[in-house]
Structure 1
Amino acid sequence: MGISYKQFENKIIEYTLKNNNGMTVKVINIGCSITEILVPDKHGEFHNVVLRNEYLDGYFENGNFFGAVVAPIAGRVENAEFTIGDDNYSFKANQGNHLLHSGNLNLYNKIWKSSVEEEKVVFQYKMGTEFPGRPLIRVMYSLSDDNELKLEYEVDAVSASVVAPTNHTYFNLSNDLTEDVSNHAIKADVKSFLKMDEDLIPISAEEPAGVFDLNEGKVFGDVFKSEDTQMKIANDGFDHYFIFNKNNRAVEVSDERSGRTLKVTTSFPGMVLYTGNNLNENTDLKDRQPQKHAGFCLETQESPAALKIPLGFDVRINGNEIYKRQTVFSFGVNK
């Protein structure tokens, strides 16, 4: 097991993590982006299971956030403003009247400082006065011989701030590079999901009934055919935040044909489940066929909707604490 790296032009550094089973993960210092995960199928054959841009330079744009860490705030902030105590902060809206994924402050296409420390790839980015609290954001990647990729987040702010980072990797567990994720099945222990308005702004927490009942398991293809109003709002798929039951913060996805499984466990209270509804045939992809639903995202995070509605957690942090969260992506096979 080990970590190697390669430096390219434009200050791009690519790190390769490889374990003793042959699982390989590649990440770059642009947005801490995951560009490749090679894992075996039920026959022992290795294939890449994440969507990636055609060229590394593409990550300086990366309009679909392939593999990237979205920070300081992932998700939508209503009216592009929030309050911390008595102070109100307003930002330049980038989706209608609202702020999506931190707008022009998002670090997904920025060069992060990077290093290798104790079998981890460590990325960090220090924000300035453009964001309250001037947070220092650290993201660490490590790979175990159990085929577990661990992501650790740390945020240290000099004063009160708002943070809700996530990783925006798109997965497709199929061996067929022309397939979307319709044949994938998902199951998760969730207690609620956030219902959205026409602007995709969460407005209330609801019980996960019908198509949203992930506790019983769902096949994505069935979800894409649903006539549920929320599915139509999100362009025929999930783009919703789910809150886990506290005793089992986990989600499992499987692809019967390849036999691959992906289990995600996390210290975050929930996740945005996004099924690539806005990808299309013009999306710039390497290897896989560009199309709607080409991949799915399990964006574990706190939701910035907590700034507006009570969810049982907050995204505001104090300046005298270090914010710490982690998510583990575990890969396996059903034979």
Structure 2
Amino acid sequence: MSVRVEKVSMGEGKTTQLVRLENASLTVELVAYGAHLYRVLAKDRQGIAENVVLNVTPISALATDLQYFGATVGPVAGRIKQAQIGDLSLEVNDNTNSLHSGSQGWSFQEWDLDWQESDDEITVTFSYIDHKSGFPGPIAAQVIYHLIDNQLSITFTGESPVATFFNPTNHGYFNLSGELKTDIRQQILEISADHILDTDAELIPTGLFLPVAETPYDFTTAKPVENALNALPSGLDTAFVFDDHAGDHHVTLYDKASGRRLDVTSEARSVIIYSVSAWDRDTQVNDHPMAKELGLAIEFQELPDLPHHPEWGSIALLPDEKVSKTIHYRFGVS
């Protein structure tokens, strides 16, 4: 087990910290700017460790990355209709709506760093007090990365002296081929969700849950991602909704060629699956030009635009009440 921390340039005289965690199973790189998950080196069935996470390169490009590669998104992920919650006005940055808490959200802030290590686990804690996002606060937030064996867990915590909102996620993009050898079309996807969230042309929820049975969105049994992409011209940018009574909210991604498998679990009510099928930006990822369907974003979170649909629950963060959300990523081979 080891932890290594180094300063890296963000340009214009600014720096951030790159944290490298390593054990016998995984190597994980994190960046303090945006509390990013930057790289994960996971072994294939031959024991060869390669990166399976998309990251913008160089690291300084994180400051202008609007696709949120590996970013901590908060305090509220997803879209808020008309950038308005009651009397609260938010930044408009996606058509007429607010997306991922805007340009001053957690993805674009420098986080304080602390870490602890023992013989068998490493815990890295990023801390930030949010005065900038436009949500009521301040919100004292932590993003806690916990590495043990072949599992990386991310816990988000939030606390505020005033009533506010809390629905963060990690916006990691995965490609299990290793070092982007292929796109994600042939990788095998399984999602334990029987419904998707219906949305309008701006991807704002209509209020309806649609069954996935007999549709391209049915991943209740494992199948290639391209099964959906061939039938959906715009690809996947879809909230899959878990049953309230389901015991296990999980997404599994598998690459036959390498044998790598990723199991992602959380208690969150939904997961956004985004296939990047309409890519039109000039961006370098992993030192290669980004292309469509080169990675699959897996974003566990509560339902988007939930404040406008109280029948679905709440993302309220009540005064002086600490809330935490956790996502588990287990890497292996089959």
TM-score computed with the length of structure 2 as normaliser? 0.91
Q: Which one of the candidate residues 200, 205, 217 is aligned to 1:202?
A: 205
1:103 matched to 2:102? The reply is yes
Q: Which one of the candidate residues 183, 189, 201 is aligned to 1:180?
A: 183
Q: Which amino acid aligns with 1:208?
A: V
Q: Is there any run of 5+ residues in structure 1 with no aligned partner, and where? A: none
What percent of counterpart residues are identical? 27
1:299 matched to 2:299? The reply is yes
Q: Which one of the candidate residues 199, 212, 221 is aligned to 2:217?
A: 212
In the alignment, what sits opposite 1:4?
4
Q: Which one of the candidate residues 57, 62, 80 is aligned to 1:59?
A: 62
Counterpart CA distance in 2 for 1:321 and 1:56 is 35
Select between 284-293 and 74-83 the one with higher mean Cα deviation.
284-293
Counterpart CA distance in 2 for 1:34 and 1:73 is 18
After TM superposition, list the pairs within 5 Å mapping 1:183-332 onto structure 2: 183-203=186-206, 204-209=208-213, 210-226=215-231, 231-232=232-233, 235=234, 237-245=235-243, 246-280=246-280, 282-310=282-310, 312-332=312-332
In the alignment, what sits opposite 2:152?
149
Counterpart CA distance in 1 for 2:101 and 2:123 is 27
Contact 1:304 1:315 in 2 (8 A): no
Contact 1:40 1:47 in 2 (8 A): yes
1:304 is displaced (CA, Å) by 3.1
1:280 is displaced (CA, Å) by 4.4
Contact 1:54 1:284 in 2 (8 A): yes
Q: Which amino acid aligns with 2:109?
A: K
Moved over 4 A (4+): none
Counterpart CA distance in 2 for 1:188 and 1:211 is 13
Contact 2:179 2:286 in 1 (8 A): no
The 3-state SS of whatever aligns with 1:104 is coil
After TM superposition, list the pairs within 5 Å mapping 1:16-95 onto structure 2: 16-21=20-25, 23-83=26-86, 88-95=87-94
Assess, with a 3 A threshold, how the Cα gap between structure 1 residues 317 and 294 changes in structure 2: closer, same or farther. same
Q: Which amino acid aligns with 1:90?
A: S
Contact 2:50 2:179 in 1 (8 A): no
Counterpart CA distance in 1 for 2:94 and 2:325 is 28
Assess, with a 3 A threshold, how the Cα gap between structure 1 residues 281 and 65 changes in structure 2: closer, same or farther. closer
Contact 1:17 1:25 in 2 (8 A): yes
Contact 1:277 1:292 in 2 (8 A): yes
In the alignment, what sits opposite 1:113?
112
What count of residue pairs does the alignment treat as equivalent? Answer: 321
Counterpart CA distance in 2 for 1:163 and 1:267 is 15
Counterpart CA distance in 2 for 1:19 and 1:134 is 36
**Once the two structures are superposed, what CA deviation does each residue of 1:76-113 show, in whole Å capped at 9, x if it has no partner?**
10000013xxxx10122111111111112312122111
Q: Once superposed, what is the RMSD of the aligned Cα atoms?
A: 1.7
Q: Which amino acid aligns with 1:283?
A: T
Q: Which amino acid aligns with 1:144?
A: I
Q: Which amino acid aligns with 1:105?
A: Q
1:275 is displaced (CA, Å) by 1.1
The 3-state SS of whatever aligns with 2:212 is coil
The 3-state SS of whatever aligns with 2:306 is helix
Assess, with a 3 A threshold, how the Cα gap between structure 1 residues 178 and 259 changes in structure 2: closer, same or farther. closer
Contact 2:260 2:333 in 1 (8 A): yes
Counterpart CA distance in 2 for 1:115 and 1:138 is 11
